[in-house]
Amino acid sequence: MAGAFISFEGIDGSGKTTQARLLAEHLRALGLPVTLTREPGGSPGAEDIRRLVLEGDPDRWSPETEILLFTAARRDHLEKTIRPALGRNDILITDRFADSTRMYQGLRGSRDMVDRLHDLVIGVDPDLTFLIDIDPALGHSRAVARAGLEQRFEDMGLALQTAMRAGFLDLAARHPRFAVIDGAREASVVATDVLTRARAHLGV
Ligand code: TYD
């Protein structure tokens, strides 16, 4: 086994951050080299951009400006964190990647702009993507329970989360790299499901 690029995706409150962390722990316990990272962020420059996009008024940026900011952050993350980790043959696990831009910005602005910019400056997608799927009402209640500063997208409301859930499922149906996981179950049960699929993919 030599390196792998795995992402976690889902609507706000889906539990994917917990699942990304648990998968990293479980694979490390098997003696495998893992780099766990996240978007927006995952490198010092991209973490600076994270603060710009996640804090403040929901109307602070247009969807098109957001595409540029998230993609700039992703480019830095790719250069500074993802490519070096894959070069070491690590298993790179990222909490969100380009599918988030396809949904969060693509459904509110121009999906065509997202895709063209991705092809131009990113050009790669994970080889395995876990979509942690949940009912937006459940996701919303979880997200509200831990409300903090990084609220811009949660504040856009249930209608957007509902559209994004459908959009993520549609994306998953079109691309074989996706594994759709029922995220409404207890975290440890979800984690076992995720680990089984990851081990099958990695051949370990
Ligand atoms: P994240 O830290 O994953 O938040 P959570 O753990 O609450 O899911 O992501 C923060 C927000 O950024 C989330 O609401 C989704 C949004 N986002 C985009 O809109 N576009 C993107 O390309 C990415 C990576 C995230």
Residues 71, 122: contact at Cβ < 8 Å? Answer: yes
Segment 164-177, tens digit of pLDDT? 999 999 999 999 99
Pairs from 160-164 (Cβ < 8 Å, separation ≥ 24): 160/107, 160/108, 161/11, 161/12, 161/136, 162/136, 163/107, 164/11, 164/103, 164/104, 164/107
Ligand 1 mutation target, pool 99, 153, 156, 165, most atoms within 8 A of CB: 153
Looking at residue 43, the DSSP 8-state letter turns out to be S
38 pairs with which residues across the strands? 95
Distance 188 CA to ligand 1 centre (A): 23
Q: What is the pLDDT of residue 155?
A: 65
Nearest alpha carbon, ligand 1 atom 6? 17
pTM here? 0.95
Q: What is the pLDDT of residue 49?
A: 97
Tell me the residue ranges of DSSP E strands in the chain. 4-9, 34-38, 91-95, 128-133, 178-182
Ligand 1 cavity residues, CB under 6 Å: 12, 17, 39-40, 54, 70, 95-96, 100-101, 104-105, 150, 153
Distance 169 CA to ligand 1 centre (A): 17
Distance 100 CA to ligand 1 centre (A): 7
Average pLDDT along the chain:
94
Ligand 1 mutation target, pool 103, 104, 156, most atoms within 8 A of CB: 104
- Locate the ligand 1 atom nearest the alpha carbon of residue 10 and give its number: 8
Nearest alpha carbon, ligand 1 atom 19? 104
Q: What is the pLDDT of residue 154?
A: 63
Below-50 pLDDT ranges, the chain = none
Tell me the residue ranges of DSSP E strands in 68-139. 91-95, 128-133
